[in-house]
Amino acid sequence: MADEGEKPPLVEDPNFLASLDDLDRGLGYEGPPGGARARLPRAPRPVSPVPPQRAAAVPPGPPPASPPEPVQRAGSAPSGVAPAAPAPSTQASPRRPLLDLFPPTHDDNERPTGALSGAAVGRRITSAPAARRPAPTPAAASPPPDSYETFYGLDEKPFAVSTDPKFFFPSVEHERAVVDLLTAIRERQPLMLLVGEPGIGKTTVCRAVLQQLDRRTISSLAAEPAASMDDLLKRFLIDFGVVSHDEVARGPDLARHDLAATFDSFLDSLAPLQASAAVVVDDAERQPTAVLAGLGRFVRAAPASLQIVLVGTRALDARLKTEAALRELNAAITLRVELGPLAGDEIGGYVMRRIAVAGARARVEFSDGALARLFAVSRGVPAAVNALCDGALTLGFERSAATIDSALVNAAAARSGALPAIDLEPSSIARTALVAVVLLVLALAGGAAAMWVFRDAVARTILQWERVPAPPGGPALLKPVPLEAVPPPADALDGGASADNPGTRPRI
């Protein structure tokens, strides 16, 4: 029996066990199942006990391969003494491997099953969970291109029906129209007229003009026909920021004089600020006559604060000149601009401009034959060029063609049955015929004038032509002499040879 006055062994020392528990919690070790360190049963003391100081110096860990002397280990009985059978509930946990003393690293992609280390008691020392990166999509799983935009490296359709000013191409005709309208607006001219064929690019020109106005000029674009002058005034006031949509919705039955008074008051407020308002009435040929006539009232009232641009086809110009209610408005027009088509050498620049805007990394080209065919079919009308190019790119995508040639343009023209209609008005046909007649008359007059100026030389030339001798005749052909018939010999007339004289033959 051990002396009761001696210190208990380290296995049963509560302070030592508590320090081991703190060490385990700090290293992230939960201990055996049950949450607390299992206490080992007290074994009989050996005959030669190990001093407490030496036993304390032995670190917990794997025993040396060849210990110099027997050392009592936790959970083992002294040598020479049979170990006592431990209770099932107090079974000691096996010795931990060295890898358990280190926290998990970022290379661990999956959470281990069971409880996390350090979750029971004490501060949890775990590494931050690594952010899962999405697995890269394999190249084979990427969806195939389903439109020619993806195939040709475009961000959007370059030849779609759009009036966005970013697609504006400064051709000779379009740039001239922009400069003329901008100059007239800056000079505060009250009324301007822009006419052209359908699809020629009038709306795009107007948007390009409004985009280049200075900060002292506010603008409004009426693209749809108005039912009445009240609707047109409401649209202008909303665009100028004078009233809101909610105010117009709350008071739909506003009197016309109230709207006109509000509009006049707004225009008067622009004069001290040296500002003005520019309004564009697009497709004005579809506006009712009363609406167009009502615009003349504001042209006369505030010519310095309001600039109006009427945009339409030649039918609008004809209405302004023929209808009696619009003659006063027609007389107030200070600038008339007629927009023409693209030239033949501008088709290539127009096509490349739209492709460059639609995609900076475009992978498509148009051959010279395709550009020539585009001009021949479209006659330089931008809307027709857009329809043909869009159809050609669709066919090129279907055939995996990197270059658009004339065959694709012809196929697109044959496939598309709804190309933008190009108006050939009677006035245009008459103008073309008149120009042809004038050119013919000028050519004849020029020839007659040249003959009069050089009449002496012409006379000498005519005399020389008259004095030119006739060409000598060819050799006379000899006519064959007719042959005279030779009379037959006399004996031939007698019947020839007889049977009695067979050797005699008739002479020929």
The 10s digit of each residue's pLDDT in 185-208 is 999 999 999 999 999 999 999 999
**Whether pTM exceeds 0.85:** no
Distance CA 191, CA 301 (A): 12
Q: What is the mean pLDDT of residues 451-465?
A: 81
Helix (H, G, I), strand (E, B) or coil at 456: helix
- Provide the CA 140 distance to its chain's centre, in angstroms: 25
Of 28-42, 158-172, 335-349, the one with minimum mean pLDDT is 28-42
Of 154-168, 209-223, 485-499, the one with minimum mean pLDDT is 485-499
H helices of 379-419, in order, are 382-398, 406-415
Q: What is the mean pLDDT of residues 288-298?
A: 88
Of 158-172, 204-218, 314-328, 429-443, the one with minimum mean pLDDT is 429-443
Helix (H, G, I), strand (E, B) or coil at 403: strand
- 423: nearest Cα among 225, 285, 282: 285
Pairwise pLDDT comparison (75 vs 25), residue with the higher score: 25
Residue 133 Cα distances to 140, 152, 430, 474, angstroms = 20, 31, 73, 104
Which residues neighbour 56 within 8 Å (Cβ) at sequence distance 6 or greater? 10
Query: Facing residues of 219 across strands?
Result: 278
Question: What per-residue confidence (pLDDT) applies to 250?
Answer: 67
Number of alpha helices (DSSP H) and beta strands (DSSP E) in the chain: 18, 7
Fold designation for 344-415 = Helicase, Ruva Protein; domain 3 (1.10.8)
- Provide the CA 321 distance to its chain's centre, in angstroms: 43
Structure token digits, residue 446: 């020029």
Which residues neighbour 176 within 8 Å (Cβ) at sequence distance 6 or greater? 337
Of 245-249, 394-398, 497-501, the one with minimum mean pLDDT is 497-501
- Provide the CA 146 distance to its chain's centre, in angstroms: 15
Residue 79 Cα distances to 41, 44, 258, angstroms = 16, 11, 116
Q: What is the largest CA-CA distance in the chain?
A: 198
Q: What are phi and psi of 348, to 5 degrees?
A: -60, -45
Structure token digits, residue 328: 């006063």
Distance CA 96, CA 28 (A): 12
Mean pLDDT of the chain: 74
Question: What per-residue confidence (pLDDT) applies to 241?
Answer: 87
Report CA torsion sign: 138, 143, 145, 147.
negative
- 257: nearest Cα among 233, 287, 291: 233
Report CA torsion sign: 26, 31, 36, 41.
negative
pLDDT greater than 80 at residue 424: no
Q: What are phi and psi of 262, to 5 degrees?
A: -65, -40
Q: What is the 3-state secondary structure of 430-443?
A: HHHHHHHHHHHHHH
pLDDT greater than 80 at residue 286: yes
Pairwise pLDDT comparison (209 vs 88), residue with the higher score: 209
One CATH from 3.40.50.2300, 3.40.50.300, 3.90.550.60, 3.40.50.620 for 170-338: 3.40.50.300
Q: Name residue, tokens 């021949």.
A: 376
Show me where the domains of the chain are located.
7-47, 170-338, 344-415
pLDDT greater than 60 at residue 107: no
Question: What per-residue confidence (pLDDT) applies to 252?
Answer: 59
Of 35-39, 138-142, 164-168, 371-375, the one with minimum mean pLDDT is 138-142
- Provide the CA 493 distance to its chain's centre, in angstroms: 113
- 307: nearest Cα among 277, 333, 282: 277
Distance CA 306, CA 142 (A): 56
Contact 365, 403 (CB under 8 A): yes
Q: What is the mean pLDDT of residues 148-169?
A: 90
Helix (H, G, I), strand (E, B) or coil at 143: coil
With cut-offs at 50, 70 and 90, classify the pLDDT of residue 500: low
Pairwise pLDDT comparison (416 vs 76), residue with the higher score: 416
Question: What per-residue confidence (pLDDT) applies to 298?
Answer: 81
- Count the neighbouring beta carbons within 10 Å of the beta carbon of residue 246: 8
Q: Position 161: which residue type? A: V
Question: What per-residue confidence (pLDDT) applies to 138?
Answer: 43
Q: What is the pLDDT of residues 328-352, one digit of tens each?
A: 899 999 999 999 999 999 999 999 9
Question: What per-residue confidence (pLDDT) applies to 308?
Answer: 93
Residue 8 Cα distances to 69, 77, 103, 437, angstroms = 21, 15, 34, 134
Which residues neighbour 60 within 8 Å (Cβ) at sequence distance 6 or greater? 20, 74
Distance CA 493, CA 508 (A): 11
Contact 195, 314 (CB under 8 A): yes
Contact 208, 165 (CB under 8 A): yes
Q: What is the mean pLDDT of residues 208-234?
A: 90
Which residues neighbour 92 within 8 Å (Cβ) at sequence distance 6 or greater? 32, 38, 40, 74, 75, 86
Helix (H, G, I), strand (E, B) or coil at 220: strand
Distance CA 347, CA 409 (A): 13
Structure token digits, residue 38: 């299992």
